[in-house]
Amino acid sequence: MTEPQRPGRTLSPQEQARLDAIKKSWQQRRQVGDRLGRVKCKIGVYSGKGGVGKTTVAVNMAVALAQQGLAVGLLDIDIDCPNAHWVIGAQEPPAYANGEFTPALAWGVKVMSMGYLQQHEDEAIIMRGPMIHNVINQFLQSTDWGELDYLIVDLPPGTSDAPLTIMQTLQMDGFVIVTTPQSLARLDAKRSINMIRKLNVRVLGVVENMSGDIFGKGAGEELAKEMGIQFLGRLELRPDYRKEDRPTVLASKKVMEEYGHILNGVHEQLEAVAHAASSPSRE
């Protein structure tokens, strides 16, 4: 005689809410994965401190990659103060039809930014954490990037909602950390490295921006050595960055050379990761 089945235990409201949140998170990750299925490599440009030039680095990296004949996208995930579209010069907004965004295009780079959704560019975007999380997921799920060799993600400073959402939702191939020569910038960059490592994502290396006689140099290389990661290179503080009619890599041969050196280091790190993943493990 078979024993009658016992009915399952009824979940408490708190347990059901947690279960629903897990299901929603899993569905979002699956939808984002499907949407970005034709993107070969996703790189975040990040630091714990504002004002170190993350957007400038992200934009010029993206344009330099496009100049190499690669298919490149630029996603500005700074929800509060979006300006990557302004820096790259993609003023024509993305198209929107049937629930999908088709990114704007500038200098061979596909661009998506919260700035396109502002009625006035100087208005303040005021959002709490859950709203930021939802906006980022909406961007990720609704943007048709097509086939890309690289998606460069420009992150806001800090170690809270927006960076956390990206690291938990996207399967990032790695992060480029930006610092300036000042001690506080180095400290905040170190905090961002520790956050990335806690979430088991790879740091590809450190870039020292605004390097030179005015602010000094060396903090980026010292930070890379201390944290055991690659120092990708320095970006000198040059008058060329005052030219606003195009990204600086297109206006200065020296700046393009600096970014070429940095991208070579990024490629080396990505190849090392791919080689390690494909090599049989030794017991």
CA 137 to chain centroid, in Å, comes to: 14
Q: How does pLDDT run across 245-277, given as a tens digit for each residue? A: 999 999 999 999 999 999 999 999 999 888 777
Residues in CB range of 136: below 8 A, 6 or more apart: 77, 79, 162, 165, 166, 169
Q: Would you tell me how many other CB atoms lie within 10 Å of the CB of residue 248?
A: 23
Residue 2 reports pLDDT greater than 60: no
Interatomic CA distance for residues 144 and 281, integer angstroms: 37
Whether 60 contacts 248, CB under 8 Å: yes
Closest to 187 in 3D by CA, of 165, 220, 146: 220
User: What pLDDT is attached to residue 282?
Assistant: 54
Q: How does pLDDT run across 206-231, given as a tens digit for each residue? A: 999 999 999 999 999 999 999 999 99
Interatomic CA distance for residues 76 and 59, integer angstroms: 10
Confidence of residue 31 (pLDDT cuts 50, 70, 90): low
Which residue has 């297109």 as its token pair?
250
Residue 120 reports pLDDT greater than 70: no
Interatomic CA distance for residues 46 and 155, integer angstroms: 5
Tell me the CA distances in angstroms from 40 to 119, 146, 189, 240, 260, one per residue in order.
33, 11, 27, 32, 20
Confidence of residue 21 (pLDDT cuts 50, 70, 90): low
User: What pLDDT is attached to residue 215?
Assistant: 93
CATH superfamily of 34-278: P-loop containing nucleotide triphosphate hydrolases (3.40.50.300)
